[in-house]
Amino acid sequence: MHPIRHFMTITAHRHKVMLGCFRVGLIRQGLLHDLSKYSPTEFLQGAKYWQGTRSPNAVAREQVGYSTAWMHHKGRNKHHYEYWTDLSAETRQYVAVPMPTRYMVESFMDRIAACKIYRGKAYRDGDGLAYLMRTEECNLLHPETFRQLKFLLTMLQDKGEQRTYAFVRRVVLKNVPEAEWERRAEEF
């Protein structure tokens, strides 16, 4: 059990997401981000499987076969694509639905913060994009949400945080149609 180290990790992560959300104007979401990680269901399992270099949920899955903390977390936090699934009326299968813009942006900030925490000094602005592309998320996200995250993570890799966050604040969160993003990104 590593309760203090786990507390420090999740708190550092929350603060990084909070700062990113504040920089783009998502104050409330920054303040409320990942509060469920402090609940007993999530915190105790996180402390038990904490390693500091990757998610305790991944370790729990390897050792037990599933993560009760993750199942609790994804159902309460709208910045996770897993929250945005529903039964298709046609196929009766679970399908991804598009994430509302503000939650997609919070997800973007969450990915950056997770990479910074787990990669430490080795972090580079392209880490979030690399992670997105090497995971199964490509197939699980709604195509619109995937395109948007990929666009922002690519911009982060190519133009850095300052320009990308300005773009998010002035274009993405102003509901400029996605079809115009590429043209508008040239301004940043």
Distances from the Cα of 185 to the Cαs of 6, 159, 162, in angstroms?
A: 38, 10, 13
pTM for the whole thing?
A: 0.90
Given a cut of 90, whether residue 138 has pLDDT beyond it is no
DSSP for 32-44?
HTTGGGGSHHHHH
pLDDT value at position 54?
84
Given a cut of 90, whether residue 9 has pLDDT beyond it is yes
Kindly indicate the confidence band of residue 136, based on its pLDDT and cuts at 50, 70 and 90: confident
H helix count then E strand count, the chain:
10, 2
Q: Which of 37-46, 138-147, 169-178 has the lowest mean pLDDT?
A: 138-147
Q: Tell me: the pLDDT tens digits for 58-69?
A: 999 999 999 999
Q: Tell me: the pLDDT tens digits for 26-47?
A: 999 999 999 999 999 999 999 9
Maximum C-alpha span of the chain: 50
Which of the listed ranges 50-64, 131-145, 157-171 does the model predict with the highest average pLDDT? 157-171
pLDDT value at position 12?
95
What is the C-alpha separation between 9 and 76, in angstroms, rounded?
20
pLDDT value at position 71?
93
